[in-house]
Every structure is written in structure tokens, then in C-alpha cells.
Amino acid sequence: MGEDDCSGQVDGGASFSMEHMAWFYYLARICNHCTYPGCLASCPRGSIYKRPEDGIVLVDQGRCRGYQECVKGCPYKKVFFNMMTGTSEKCIACYPKIEMGIQPQCFVNCIGKIRLAGFLSTPDKANPDNPLDYLVHIRKVALPLFPQFGLEPNVYYIPPVHVPQAFTSQMFGPGVAEAVKTYRNAPNDPDLSSLLGLFGSTEMIIPRWKRQGDWVAGMDEKGKEVVRVPLREPILIRPAYDKLYQISRTNCP
């Protein structure tokens, strides 16, 4: 699976039309910490385990003998063999941070603020106050990658809107059309758009959320507010020429 491939030559102006004949997008993939991990099942040493308390899948570096069966067994290609140590390694979901109630580092560092980490309930116990339950189970705007593999991956993606759905549906399953429709309508959907505004707003895991008018709050389990952001960010347009200091703030005043 390529992550940087463009499907063809982009014609002039094509980027402004829907859907594109040629398209390109990044899919930032980490280990899915699958409910039924193929890596774990394929290890003859029993070196891979899934933590019952948080579902994180780890390679026991002390047990691993570098047979690399897990590299083959993960259809998402998320286990790597370290030739220096002779063991297999993978994403650890930044478990020391999770244990402290903090989101993993790649979630916090993401300058595009596209990630939100937390704990998902099973569909029968979906709670609209839980931001992940709301996105995945209730609004169904975030979908699993290649659900047909049957491993029940636990990373969910809002599918790209400019890519032909014949392609994205084989990646994210049959819910793509509805997810794209819901996402494209987010500007008219204050609950969904405000929740998206909580992405990248805090380092803490926020198991609860609530919109109050033009504000949205992320809270801890006890309902204590952790972060609050406006529904719409204020926009300030500074004049190119600053009369007070008699300077131009852009290269092209």
C-alpha cells in the first residue's frame, strides 16, 4: 500500500472540480492496536500481547527472537524488524503517556490537529458524551481502515472527500458515502463542527465533551472542564501598512 502515490497526471484546474480524475492524499497510519491483532496471532514465541486495561498491543522485547512472523502477519504493515537489536518493534501507543491520561505524542505534535485519542465504547454502550463514541458510533463520520481484514482496527479515519468513493469504499467500507456527506455538512452542524474543534486543543485525554452555544468544552471523567474552545476561531486581519509604526507587515503592501 503506497502512501505517497498520485493516481495520474493532474490536469490544470482539476483540483477545483469534484470528483478529481487524479487525486492524491496522505493517510497517516499508525498501529491500529487491533481488537484481534494479526501480529499477536502470528508470533510463535507468544511475544506479543494486548493489555487488558487499555487494549494497547505490545511486543515483549525480552521474549522476541526476531522470527519476523509478526511482520508478515500484520496486514497493515505496522511491525518493523530492528536489525540492530534483532527484535521486532512497533508503535507502543505511547503507553506511558496514556497511563498518565495524556494523548500519544504524534497526536499532540500534529500541526494539522487532525487527531484525537481516547477510549471507544462498544457500539451497544455508545455514549454521545464520549467524543469518540459520538464520531464513530453515533455520527459514523470516522471509519476503520480495511475493516474487511477482520482484525477490528481501533484507529478511525474521516475519509477524504475528493477521492472517488469506489476507491475509498474499498479502504473504509460501505459507510464512506454517508461519512463524507456528514463531514461536508459540518459547517451547518454545530455539534459536529465544534467537536472537530477539540482535536489538537489539549494534551489531555478528554473522555467527555459538551457544546454550550458557541463554545465547546472537553472534560475529564468527573465532568471537570479540561479545555474550552470557541465554535468559530476569531479572525483578525491586520492592515498591510501599520500607520502607528509606519511599517509594512507584508512583502507586497
Exposure letters 224-252 (e unless 16+ CB within 10 A, then b): eebeebeeeeeeeeeeeeeeeeeeeeeee
Q: Does 160 bind ligand SF4 (CB under 6 A)?
A: no
What would the grid cell of residue 92 be?
507502543
φ and ψ of 133, to 5 deg: -60, -40
**Per CB under 6 A, which region of 76-84, 129-137, 180-188, 214-222 contacts ligand SF4?**
76-84
**Cα 118 to chain centroid, rounded:** 11
Close Cβ partners of 125 (under 8 Å, ≥ 6 residues apart): none
Q: Does 93 bind ligand SF4 (CB under 6 A)?
A: yes
Identified binder of ligand SF4 from the candidate list 23, 39, 180, 206, rule CB under 6 A: 39
Q: Does 176 bind ligand SF4 (CB under 6 A)?
A: no
Q: Does 57 bind ligand SF4 (CB under 6 A)?
A: yes
Q: Does 59 bind ligand SF4 (CB under 6 A)?
A: no
Determine the Cα angle at 152 with ends 210 and 171, to 5°. Answer: 90
Shortest distance (Å) from residue 117 CB to ligand SF4: 8
Rounded Cα distance between 18 and 164, Å, is: 9
- Quick note: the x/- pattern for ligand SF4 over 207-236, rule CB under 6 A, is ------------------------------
What would the grid cell of residue 54 be?
487499555
Which residue blocks in the chain are alpha helix, DSSP H? Answer: 38-42, 69-73, 95-99, 105-109, 131-133, 165-172, 176-184, 190-196
User: Which residue do the cell numbers 477545483 mark?
Assistant: 16
Identified binder of ligand SF4 from the candidate list 31, 43, 180, 216, rule CB under 6 A: 31
Q: Does 157 bind ligand SF4 (CB under 6 A)?
A: no
- Interacting residues with ligand SF4 between 95 and 154 (CB under 6 A): 104-106, 151
**Per CB under 6 A, which region of 89-97, 131-139, 158-166, 209-217 contacts ligand SF4?**
89-97
Number of residues lying near ligand SF4 (CB under 6 A): 22
Shortest distance (Å) from residue 32 CB to ligand SF4: 4
Contact residues for ligand SF4, defined by CB under 6 A: 30-34, 37-39, 57, 74, 76, 78-79, 90-94, 104-106, 151
